[in-house]
Amino acid sequence: MTELLFREDAYLREAEAKVVAHTPEGGIVLDRTVFYPTGGGQPGDSGKLSWAGGAVSIATTVKAGGEDVALVPAEPVALPAVGSTVMQEIDWERRHRHMRVHTALHLLSVVIPLPVTGGAITAEKGRLDFAMQEAPDDREALDEAMNALIERDLVVWEHWISDEDLAANPGLVKTMSVKPPTGSGQVRLVGIGRGANRVDLQPCGGTHVARTSEIGRVRIGKIENKGRQNRRVNLHLET
């Protein structure tokens, strides 16, 4: 089971680790990692892995069955031996933009309080699909509402609850297409704002910024028709 260092500190950029396995596809499994694996609409991290006598660029990161995480080399190279110590370093600029977009999408689900049917994140933009018949006709109002929430500099925090608590509070789940992972006994919630200032609380396993002001300004992009009752709302980072 890979220890998920990014879960404890999303701002951790590098860390030592030991190689515990190689996957049949050529991935490198570590005992602990700062690399986020693809999941929940958020891409896997890229970066660099180095060790005595070698180094390799990491193209992406994926789940490798069970609780393991595998780093996928960008090109075929000799892999570090199982048991060896390596230094892992994520592409921080790319990861941080993923964090900004991901937190912004949580706010988008506040501004448009409808069930979410899908979503995706890149380093430049993100999108959510909503179960709604008519597309919003005032993108400027959405822009203003989004940026007003961002400028409130709300704290982003996490909390763990039991599977039973989640089952007793189904309203916490906004996504219709992807259900929160259960079965381990605990589910991670991500909240935005505390006390009377709380605007959002939902299950999420992704990485987020510490405060909404860190997102920076955003703009609502194209709103697409993706079915009789499905609308896709695109969101862009301004810088």
Average pLDDT over residues 155-184: 80
Residues 128-158 have pLDDT tens digits of 999 998 888 889 999 999 999 999 999 999 9
Residues 190-236 have pLDDT tens digits of 999 999 999 999 999 999 999 999 999 999 999 999 888 899 999 99
Annotated domain spans of the chain: 3-90, 95-237
Residues 30-51 have pLDDT tens digits of 999 999 999 989 999 999 999 9
DSSP the chain: --EEHHHH-TT--EEEEEEEEE-TTS-EEESEESPPPSBTTBPPP-EEEEETTEEEEEEEEEE-STT-EEEEESS--PPPPTT-EEEEEE-HHHHHHHHHHHHHHHHHHHHS-S-EEEEEE-SSEEEEEEE-SS--S-HHHHHHHHHHHHHTT-BEEEEEEEHHHHHH-GGG--BSSSPPP-SSSEEEEEEES-GGG--EEEE--S---SBGGGG--EEEEEEEE-STTEEEEEEEE--
On whether the 3-90 domain is CATH 2.40.30.130, my answer is yes
Residue 163, pLDDT score? 83
CATH architecture of 95-237: 2-Layer Sandwich (3.30)
Give this prediction's pTM: 0.94
> In whole numbers, what is the pLDDT of the chain averaged over residues?
93
Q: Quick one: pLDDT band at residue 184, thresholds 50, 70, 90?
A: low
Asked whether the predicted pLDDT for residue 182 surpasses 90, the reply is no
